[in-house]
Amino acid sequence: MNEAEAVVVGVRVRPFQDREIQNNASLCISMSQKSTSIFDSSGKDTMFTFDESFWSHDGYEEDRTGYLRPKPGSRYADQKYVFDTFGKRVLDNAWGGYHCCLFAYGQTGSGKSYSMVGQGSNKGIVPISCEEIFRRIADDEAASHSYEVMVSAIEIYNEAVQDLLIPVESRPRKGFEIRESKILGVYIDGITKRPVDSYKTIHNTIEEATTHRTVGSTLMNATSSRAHTVLIIEFKTVMAGSTRVSMINLVDLAGSEKVKQTGAEGERMKEGAMINKSLSTLGNVIEKLAEKSTNPKKAVLVPYRESKLTRLLQNALGGSSKTIMICALSPASSNYEETMSTLRYADRAKKIKNKAVVNENPQEKLMRELMEENQKLKEMISGLGAGRTFDARTFEDLGRKQREIAEAEAALKDMQKTFQERLQEDRQRQEEQGRRRGTVVNPMVPMIVNLNQDPQLQGRVKHYFMEGKTVIGCGRHQEDDSDSESGSDKSESTSEESEEELEPDITLLGFGIKREHAIVVNDGGRCILRALNEDAAKATCLNGTPLDRLLDMEPSKCLQEQIEGGFLLTHSDRLIFGPCYFVFVDPNTGTAEALIASGEVDFTMAQMEENRAKRSATEKRLRKSLYSPSMILPGLEGEDQLQEMAKELGEARRRLELKDQLLVAKDQELEELRRQLAVLQGNPEDQELLYGRHEKVSMVIDSTFEEALAQLTALEAMFSSRARTSSSQAKAGAALA
Ligand SMILES: Nc1ncnc2c1ncn2[C@@H]1O[C@H](COP(=O)(O)OP(=O)(O)OP(=O)(O)O)[C@@H](O)[C@H]1O
């Protein structure tokens, strides 16, 4: 039996962010070799010792490519150093046939994703590891070994596990099931495993996962920091006469939400609670495992089952995996509490001990276990035949065993596929997908590019408009949202062919998106957008204004060029379909990347534009009725009545004008917040705060507007009732006369 080995724990402190510098933030962390100290406001320090303390706070300079390297003689831990210290260790373990896991833990904005994924030329552990895997494989080609690599990518959001390698529209609503069987251990049922044979294919697979994550987050209206993401690399070494398999789990945990600080409510609060549930269960699991390792004789119950995350990482945390944890720290004393809690977390984690084992010949092992289990099953059944009495529990066991055997048989069948067969299947899948979606990666084709609240996810999804027609809609998905309620026609389409017909070229999901929602006709590079029905026209906005309203406008007043019931799209036009925000890119005018980088168009701006347009339509109607002479109702008679009415009208106008002034001021405030948000790109924590303020200002605008609306509607009702009374009085008077 192998010796128990402690979880390897490192902490890394990031530089101050611009806003922290502006606020004269003070540093509360110091590091000396492997120890890290944290200082409270009175200057009292608490010291911790870890396997590594990475100082990435200062002492760096930017090279020509934007890479942050240490200044000569400085102790700055750059991305390469962190990879060489921790990332390499993961790969060495995988090469040795051990399961391994690397976690990034820390509060929102502390630098987890920077260490795991990186930014620009400062690549993180995930991309460097992927490059390194294929570099090592190439170096080893002469040897008698061969290697097979498969990748899965998952996300855990609101306690649902989603497969990031399938399109969002194919996701099961409640996510994928995590199952546990005696033979197969803990696994996610039905998750995609993509064979990859080069850095390029693994890179493309990760990009695809990020794109799906983006689409998903748009629908959930969430930023990337609210989900846990796990990249699972199954790494197999095939040697003469034996094979070794290692599962590498690279985990970027969600940041713990500071609910009070961001003022999260409703869904966001639930979301925060869910993340905190996963993280706090992770904390409890770490605590219990540390207790168990310190006192092996004590019976300790580890609550793995209390969250999806801990269930999934059960093996990595308390099993046979070699595990590394990197805890990201904010240097600012304003984050003292959170940083202290991260350090305590890290301190507890280093007490956990695992017994890693080499995973040799998994196929043979599975076959052996299957035979054993089959034998047990036979014995149970023959016991049944021999007339022995069985209680309900035994029947339950029998059923479970049969299920487990069936699952293991399916897994064995899957294992028996050769790697070449898998690659071939995957190529076919890609070709098929390309055909169905008409996906092209041609920079000269007009396209729409997604806008997202999270700058990391902005500009990631591109939909192209090929020459001819492109239909946009939700197809046969999400029918409960709209179409099905009003008598779905989907039930009639049973044949594969008719389902195929229903598939739009661009599938968008979300409230308000119709099965066949809109069409874009590309006629020699000129793209014309048209809604396909009335409801879709209401739920589609061009530069903030719904298409139904644009259609009703007099052509001279409409800023959009109308062509046969459709609208000509021009570079940087904002398009909103239900909850999905995009910007149109005309390749003859500019590229998507340049447009997004210019900051000229972003999610907040598109959202503000939409809100403003919504308001202005109603405002116009009310203003017209309030200020028009027809408001001095014809049936009114007598000096007194007229004077009273004029007074009431005057007051109503004044109230409206005050509200109007407030709205203008708040709009300016919003514009300023948007400008600040654009400057703060890549600074999630500050953005969270600003978004919070942004939401509040938007709420004030909405409620002010609602109030004005209510006042005016009441006034209108009062006038018309008075008009009715005075005209009936007039009629009665005339009759009497
Ligand atoms: N070691 C580092 N060197 C330079 N900049 C860093 C470093 N670590 C983090 N940063 C910067 O700090 C900011 C926050 O980092 P990052 O996005 O990785 O945080 P996070 O913990 O992943 O946040 P979230 O939980 O919201 O996803 C980013 O702008 C990043 O560029």
The residue with tokens 């599962």 is: 247
User: Which amino acid makes up residue 442?
Assistant: N
Residue 617 is assigned to a structural domain of this protein:
yes
User: What CATH number is attached to the domain comprising 548?
Assistant: 2.60.200.20
Percent pLDDT > 90 in the chain is 26
Strands (E), 330-481: 353-354, 447-450, 462-464, 468-473
Report whether pLDDT(270) > 90. no
The three-state secondary structure class of 617 is helix
For residues 379 and 338, state if they share a domain. no
State which ligand 1 atom lies nearest to the alpha carbon of 682. Answer: 29
Separation in Å, CA 484 to CA 22, 479, 492, 558: 53, 5, 12, 34
CA-based nearest residue to 93, from 263, 272, 233, 188: 233
Average pLDDT of the segment spanning 223-237 = 82
| φ/ψ bin of 54: left (φ > 0), alpha (ψ from -120 to 50), beta (otherwise) | beta
- Could you tell me which residues come within 8 angstroms of residue 381 by beta carbon, excluding any fewer than 6 positions away? 398
Structure tokens at 328: 């990201």
Report whether pLDDT(465) > 60. yes
Q: Name every protein residue with a CB atom under 6 angstroms from any ligand 1 atom.
A: 14-15, 17, 56, 68, 106, 108-114, 119, 224-225, 255, 328, 682-684
Instruction: Tell me what pLDDT residue 385 has.
Output: 60
The better pLDDT of the pair 149, 275 is held by 149
Rounded Cα distance, 387 and 369, in Å: 28
Indicate the Cα dihedral angle 712, 718, 723, 726, nearest 10°: -150
Q: How far is the CA of 700 from the centre of ligand 1 (A)?
A: 32
For residues 340 and 483, state if they share a domain. no
Report whether pLDDT(219) > 80. no
Residue 438 is assigned to a structural domain of this protein:
no
* Helical segments of 97-169, H only: 112-116, 125-139
Rounded Cα distance, 447 and 443, in Å: 9
**Ligand 1: which of 113, 125, 213, 680 to mutate, most ligand atoms within 8 Å of CB?**
113
Separation in Å, CA 50 to CA 10, 27, 106, 304, 508: 6, 20, 15, 25, 47
Q: How far is the CA of 548 from the centre of ligand 1 (A)?
A: 43
For residues 366 and 349, state if they share a domain. no
Beta-strand relationship, 5-6 and 518-523: unpaired
User: What CATH number is attached to the domain comprising 308?
Assistant: 3.40.850.10
- Estimate to the nearest angstrom the gap between the alpha carbon of 693 and the chain centroid: 22
Considering 20-29, 208-217, 473-482, 598-607, the range whose residues carry the highest mean pLDDT is 20-29
For residues 240 and 177, state if they share a domain. yes
Instruction: Give per-residue pLDDT as tens, 545-583.
Output: 899 888 888 777 677 788 888 899 999 999 999 888 999
**Ligand 1: which of 114, 217, 454, 685 to mutate, most ligand atoms within 8 Å of CB?**
114
**Ligand 1: which of 11, 13, 14, 29 to mutate, most ligand atoms within 8 Å of CB?**
14
Average pLDDT of the segment spanning 425-431 = 81
Structure tokens at 586: 């005309």
Domain extent for 370: 362-419
Residue 510 is assigned to a structural domain of this protein:
yes
Backbone angles phi and psi of 37, in degrees to 5: -120, 145
For residues 309 and 415, state if they share a domain. no
Rounded Cα distance, 661 and 355, in Å: 68
Rounded Cα distance, 336 and 343, in Å: 10
Residue 429 is assigned to a structural domain of this protein:
no
The better pLDDT of the pair 229, 444 is held by 229
Active site residues: 109, 111-114, 252, 255
Rounded Cα distance, 131 and 117, in Å: 13
Average pLDDT of the segment spanning 238-249 = 84
Report whether pLDDT(636) > 60. no
For residues 248 and 223, state if they share a domain. yes
Instruction: Tell me what pLDDT residue 340 has.
Output: 93
Separation in Å, CA 13 to CA 45, 58, 228, 424, 718: 16, 9, 21, 45, 65
Domain count, the chain: 4
Query: Residue 601: enclosing H or E segment and its boundaries?
Result: none
Average pLDDT, the chain: 78
Report whether pLDDT(210) > 50. yes
Residue 111 is labelled as binding a ligand: yes
Q: Which of 337, 354, 371 is the last residue of a domain?
A: 354
Q: What is the DSSP letter of 351?
A: T
For residues 509 and 536, state if they share a domain. yes
Instruction: Tell me what pLDDT residue 80 has.
Output: 96
Report whether pLDDT(300) > 90. no
How close are the terminal C-alpha atoms of the chain, in Å? 114
State which ligand 1 atom lies nearest to the alpha carbon of 117. Answer: 18
User: Which amino acid makes up residue 483?
Assistant: D
Report whether pLDDT(89) > 90. yes
- Among the ranges given (98-112, 249-263, 291-305, 576-590), the one the predictor scored with the smallest mean pLDDT: 249-263
For residues 339 and 376, state if they share a domain. no
- Among the ranges given (106-115, 238-247, 587-596), the one the predictor scored with the smallest mean pLDDT: 238-247
Residue 432 is assigned to a structural domain of this protein:
no
- Among the ranges given (115-119, 230-234, 454-458, 459-463), the one the predictor scored with the smallest mean pLDDT: 454-458
Instruction: Tell me what pLDDT residue 263 has.
Output: 42
Instruction: Tell me what pLDDT residue 550 has.
Output: 86
Instruction: Tell me what pLDDT residue 384 has.
Output: 63
What does the longest C-alpha to C-alpha distance in the chain come to?
A: 117
Average pLDDT of the segment spanning 275-295 = 81
Q: How far is the CA of 107 from the centre of ligand 1 (A)?
A: 10
Q: How far is the CA of 334 from the centre of ligand 1 (A)?
A: 16
Instruction: Tell me what pLDDT residue 709 has.
Output: 67
Residue 509 is assigned to a structural domain of this protein:
yes
Report whether pLDDT(587) > 50. yes
Average pLDDT of the segment spanning 103-130 = 91
Residue 688 is assigned to a structural domain of this protein:
yes
State which ligand 1 atom lies nearest to the alpha carbon of 683. Answer: 29
Q: Which of 298, 319, 354 is the last residue of a domain?
A: 354
Q: Which of 354, 373, 395 is the last residue of a domain?
A: 354
Instruction: Give per-residue pLDDT as tens, 314-360.
Output: 877 777 788 899 999 999 998 899 999 899 989 988 888 777 777 76
For residues 528 and 514, state if they share a domain. yes
Report whether pLDDT(666) > 80. no
For residues 369 and 349, state if they share a domain. no
Instruction: Tell me what pLDDT residue 68 has.
Output: 95
Residue 625 is labelled as binding a ligand: no
Report whether pLDDT(618) > 80. no
Residue 435 is assigned to a structural domain of this protein:
no
* Position 429 confidence tier, pLDDT thresholds 50, 70, 90: confident
The three-state secondary structure class of 28 is coil
Instruction: Tell me what pLDDT residue 127 has.
Output: 93
Instruction: Give per-residue pLDDT as tens, 3-42.
Output: 677 889 999 999 998 888 888 889 999 999 999 999 998 9
Is 354:2 a contact under the CB 8 Å cutoff?
Answer: no
State which ligand 1 atom lies nearest to the alpha carbon of 254. Answer: 25
The three-state secondary structure class of 27 is strand
The verdict on pTM exceeding 0.95 is: no
For residues 506 and 616, state if they share a domain. no
For residues 371 and 329, state if they share a domain. no
Residue 113 is labelled as binding a ligand: yes
Instruction: Tell me what pLDDT residue 448 has.
Output: 93
